[in-house]
Structure 1
Amino acid sequence: MRRESDVEAGLDGVMTDEVGVITGDLTVATEGEGNQATIRVQYTGA
């Protein structure tokens, strides 16, 4: 199952492994299978 939501990250932003902290309009995607979940964050429209 995959779910996506658009959010606006404020001043503290969201910490990512790839580029560090990102702020602004973001899309958060969550994918799950069994008891495992993967969460991906990217700039909306990227």
Structure 2
Amino acid sequence: MGDYDCAGGSGNGPHYVTGPIRVLSPDPFRLDSDHDGFGCEKP
């Protein structure tokens, strides 16, 4: 399966997600940094 990171972020992939996307618990890739249910939001 591999690791997923937000596109344009500091993660090293190998897979990248362009968001925002809905994140359901659990969040093993820590895409939802502010825990609002959406990941890879623009800062």
TM-score (norm: length of structure 1): 0.29
More strand by share: 1
Whose radius of gyration is greater, 1 or 2? 1
